[in-house]
Amino acid sequence: MEDSILNQPHNALNDLFRLVNTLRGQNGCPWDKKQTPESVGIYLIEEVFELVDAIESGNSEHIREELGDVLFHIVFIARMFEERQEFDLSQVARTITEKMIRRHPHVFGETEVNSSAEVVQNWHKIKLNENKDNKNQSLLDSVPAKLPALIRAYRISDRVAKSGFELTETDEKQKVPQAVTDDLQAALKNQDSRLASRQFGDLIFSLVNAARLAEIHPESALAGSVKIFETRFKKMEELIAESKREFDEISLDEKKRIWQEVQKIVP
């Protein structure tokens, strides 16, 4: 099964491999030749976020372009490790194929599942079993430190819950974010900026956990709210411009009135 997946001819992919080899070759691009996996990694992160934006836009041409950018960076990074004689892209493909087969025993094995929830539970058990030989490894070590804080908070909350440590059953404040809000307000009243920062973080984390329990991803929820706010604000700028006035010349009361009008236009 794996051979049939990995060994199929892909002419366009071969063209991409040759392109990257040329860029990194003796007569290639000076900039490309001096790059390292570490220097290219940050560009990959940026490209992934651009891909997510494209997917959310629904523009298939844009999505195809951004997928290409991500693929290029993956091939580029793999090439650098191949130059070090550590591994090549075919080994990367084989490793992930083997992992996915191993983690889908309900598809490639004899395991039976009745729901997607059972798939997730089995996935977590398989991951734990894969890491059992590393006695010093934490359950949280596989959560990337470079993730945006909101996504990382969700991943950690989800990870510990799947391990049987549900925060809402151990910490009363996780049940009632209002309790954390009260602590934050007290810190602000006392002008304790360090404590206020800690309490603000606790409040966000408690809300992340509440979102997880409601099966809402906080990153997606926040992104949606920010997008709505952005659309409304741009509409407010548009209305002010149509009235032949400058934004900074409008009084706060007038801006509030226009904002209320915009909320009806952009619900």
**How confident is the model over 183-223, as pLDDT tens digits?**
788 888 888 888 888 888 888 888 888 888 888 888 888 88
* Inter-residue contact 159 to 138 (CB < 8 Å): no
Q: Tell me the CB-side half-sphere exposure of residue 101, using CA atoms within 13 A.
A: 12
**Statement: residue 147 has pLDDT above 60:** yes
Burial 117-131 (b: 16+ CB within 10 A, else e): eebeebebebbeeee
* Inter-residue contact 184 to 203 (CB < 8 Å): yes
* Inter-residue contact 66 to 50 (CB < 8 Å): yes
**How confident is the model over 218-260, as pLDDT tens digits?**
888 888 888 898 899 999 888 888 888 888 888 888 888 999 9
Domains 2-102 and 138-216 share a fold: yes
Q: What is the pTM of this model?
A: 0.63
Residue ranges per structural domain of the chain: 2-102, 110-137, 138-216, 220-265
**How confident is the model over 38-52, as pLDDT tens digits?**
999 889 988 998 998
Topology given in CATH for the domain delimited by 2-102 = Helix Hairpins (1.10.287)
Cα(123)–Cα(101) distance, integer angstroms: 11
Angle at 80 between CA 79 and CA 84, to 5 degrees: 110
**Statement: residue 267 has pLDDT above 60:** yes
Cα(164)–Cα(141) distance, integer angstroms: 17
Q: What is the CATH number of domain 138-216?
A: 1.10.287.1080
